[in-house]
A and B are shown apart, each in its own frame.
Chain A
Amino acid sequence: MTKASPLRWAIIGVLAAGLAVVLGLVPFVGGSYYAHIGILVLLNVTLVMGYRLLCLTGLYSFCHITFFAIGAYTSALLSTRLGYPVWICFIAAGIVAALFSMALIIPAGRVRGVYFFLVTFGFLEVMNSVFLHWSSLTGGDAGIAVFAPIIGTGTQTQDYFVVLAFAIVTVLIMYRLERSRFGRELAPIGSAEGLASVSGVNVFRNRLLAFAIGAAFAGFAGSLFAHDAAYISANDFSWWGSVYILVWLVIGGERKMWGPIVGAVVMTVVAEGLRMSGIMQALFYSGVLLLTVMAMPQGIVGLVGYLRAKVGGARTSGDEGPPPVDRLAEGSP
């Protein structure tokens, strides 16, 4: 630690306090519509946090929204069919989603790069087909009405604070995980799988864990979504959901934890803000995406790193995140 660290902690403290005030005031300032947007943003943050874990190992899946859906259906079915209390449904949602992810990655872990991306895309479509057509279980197009509120009477404000607590816990857990032995082993797998493997890193076990933990959090988020929205149907979980999660990750930049968080917050708020005007929203979304991937391939994280390097020169050299994941490494011979 350098001399600057007390100042740095002070800045972090002030920022955190400011953030806490803003987050705490959202439902009171803007009413239930803002609380609703807040819930959406926070759930999206937890989704992209979980998604990032496997990405750090250099494998990009395309079915994260499916684990969210599995959580939502698990929770909705346990609650409406068997009458379990919501907290049991919530825990079960995470567990079931994690079990599905393990069942998927045991065979799918054999393939790499674009083939992994496609096999998970296949899983997404198979599950969507089940959600849509196994109507006796999932309600198909008509969906399921979920009457049990998360807590209290299920107002948007109450839901908002539950989701806020869940999102904070998720971010803290992810923060701890990244600094654990398991977390520190993920990035080397992404940048040099063979080398990590001969250095004694259990590549398969780490990927399995990363995928399962990510899926579990998506499952928890799905449960909260189902009980908050009080209604779910197959249409809530199309592959566009996976596209958005990928977009948040890329816009924010996956190298640092705060990148995907910023990506999810900014893009969700922007998408909601532009909802009024169809074509402008689509063109804006499309343009921002294209510009981001073309001009700043490391996302906002990369941009900030670049600016800091320009301003601070070599001073920032000790403050690097995990090494950049080489997306080429797995995709080409």
Chain B
Amino acid sequence: MAAQVIANSIVLGLTLALMGIGLTLIYGILLVVNFAHGEFYMLGAVFLYYVTSSAGLGYWVSAAVAIVAVGVLGWALEVLVFRRFHGDLIGGCIAAIALTIGIQSITWEVWGPRTRAVAAPVRGHTEIFGAVVTNERLLIAVVSLVSILALAWFIKYAKFGKAMRAVSEDSEAARVQGIPAMKISALAFGLATGLAALAGVLVAPTTFVNPAMGSIPLTFAFIVVIIGGMGSVAGSLIASMIIGLQQNLTALWLGSQWSIGVAFLLAIIVLVVSPKGLMGHD
């Protein structure tokens, strides 16, 4: 029982982490709360569906195409729209909300009022320490974990990652050092939206795909960044694990209908006790 809860929590936590880390990266660098982040998740899944069904490509190739397409879209939107809102909380929110409405309505128009399913790349289940995990979920967890580790390495050691950290720390000082802050923020936005699309393509086979599917992951991403602290990747990862566990325990003890409410309550408590989340910066 305990092993099952822990396994479920880790799998869920790793899924949430991809969205949370993207949102926190964007905030750290642009100082913009990306209310449209759920749409990039949704677009990942929707593009995956179209590439697999129309081009007849396999899951992995289609997933790569979808992620790159969403990443490029994110990059373009940063250059066209979000660039003007660095540091403007309300303006950035409104712009992101406007994009959410636009992206969703266009997708509804093209997609139609229905849900579709995407075939899973793996089948069956695996037993780990007495906990049963379906291979689909195991795959999500492993790919998420590998991506997060790669991202952590990238941010810590790669030249671009170091530049991202510098801009996040102090954009003005970074620019004085010759770091092209604007280029970095556009690329970071593309990277973060690509992560959202990755979450979308990973989760797509386990759920139904439709244009409204981004709203719940967005809600969870908010909870994760509130608890982890805006701008902290490590904080987001820890917070995702906490929320993964909280979701399973709340469902077990109170019933799953309370799981989002309790998560937000937890977030409020963390924020009031420690106003910048667990590891957030300004």
A residues neighboring B (CB under 8 Å): 60, 107-108, 110-115, 117-119, 121-123, 125-126, 128-130, 132-133, 243, 246-247, 250, 278-279, 282-283, 285-287, 289-290, 292-294, 297, 327-328, 330-333
Contact = CB atoms under 8 A, between A and B. Distances in A.
Given A122-B267, A250-B94, A285 B226 contact: no
Given A119-B226, A125-B264, A328 B105 contact: no
A126 B268 contact: yes
Given A114-B89, A121-B222, A289-B94, A282 B264 contact: no
A126 B81 contact: no
> Interface residue tally of chain B, by bracket?
35 or more
Contacts of A130: 261
A328 to B, nearest CB: 5
Contacts of A60: 89-90
A250 B90 contact: yes
Contacts of A115: 226, 230, 271, 275-277, 280
Given A114-B89, A115-B280, A290-B99, 17 more contacts: A107-B268, A108-B271, A108-B272, A110-B272, A119-B226, A119-B268, A122-B223, A122-B264, A123-B268, A129-B261, A132-B257, A246-B90, A247-B94, A250-B90, A285-B101, A327-B91, A332-B87
A328 B88 contact: yes
Interface string B29-49: 001010000000000000000
A302 B226 CA distance: 33
A293 B95 contact: yes
B99 A279 contact: no
B275 A290 contact: no
A128 B87 CA distance: 29
21 contacts: A60-B89, A107-B272, A114-B89, A118-B225, A121-B222, A122-B265, A122-B271, A128-B261, A133-B258, A246-B93, A247-B94, A278-B105, A279-B108, A282-B104, A285-B101, A289-B98, A289-B101, A292-B94, A297-B88, A327-B88, A333-B282
